[in-house]
Amino acid sequence: MNAASASSLWSVTLEEFREKVASRDASVAAVAVAAVSASCALNLVLMVLEIAASRKNFRGDRRRVEALMEAARAESERLARFADEDPAAYARYVRCLRMPKDTAAEREQREHAIAAALRRATEVPLAAANAAIAGLNVCAEAAELAEGPVATDLGGAAMLLAGAVRAMLLSVDANLAALGETEFRDQAALERGELEDRAIRQSSAIRKRVAS
């Protein structure tokens, strides 16, 4: 993980993070928690690939393993960033809600600002869900290499990633309902449905693969 800034969730201890989630700070909520979980799940995938490639009887393509590890690291890093970006997007939305609305001009400015903030608050969990889906794709390929006890860890990683996708999409649903009828809303709703379907199908296939 890259060095975290002082304001990053990654700069606090695990205990501090748990307490922050339980506090009245509603900005650190389901999307951030899901992104942290998904990022850690991809590190489980890295562990599985490391063990698989280090076996003396490994007969697979090591370059393929290295490519999968690079992909897992990249998506883990992306998800780590989304864990910080989602609280920032929510904080922006709250600031817009507090904008003055005494005059017609102020109300119009506030309305536009809220719409833009809601759009950003929708884009972040959608992007995070896409990163988690990319992580599931890595899991699917890694499942062909996982043997023995670590296959269970890979399956667990896939379940965590799929759960993270669905948790993130709940936030998308709430934001889309608040946005009203727009072209962005229609496109985001379509993408949201496709992402959930992929998460369900991919995680189910991986679970069957590692169980066998």
- The domain ranges of the chain are 11-211
Neighbours of 190 (CB within 10 A): 10
pTM: 0.91
List, in sequence order, every beta strand (DSSP E) within 17-102: none
List, in sequence order, every beta strand (DSSP E) within the chain: none
pLDDT at 3: 43
- Closest to 1 measured CA to CA, from 27, 55, 39: 39
pLDDT at 52: 87
Fold of 11-211: Four Helix Bundle (Hemerythrin (Met), subunit A) (1.20.120)
> Residue length, the chain?
212
What is the C-alpha separation between 3 and 99, in angstroms, rounded?
Answer: 34
- Closest to 34 measured CA to CA, from 70, 105, 87, 73: 87
pLDDT at 27: 86
pLDDT at 1: 42
pLDDT at 6: 57
Contact yes or no for 135/72 (Cβ under 8 A) = yes
At 198, list the tokens: 């992929």
At 184, list the tokens: 């962005």
pLDDT at 148: 80
Task: Write out residues in the chain with pLDDT < 70, as ranges.
Answer: 1-6
At 14, list the tokens: 């695990």
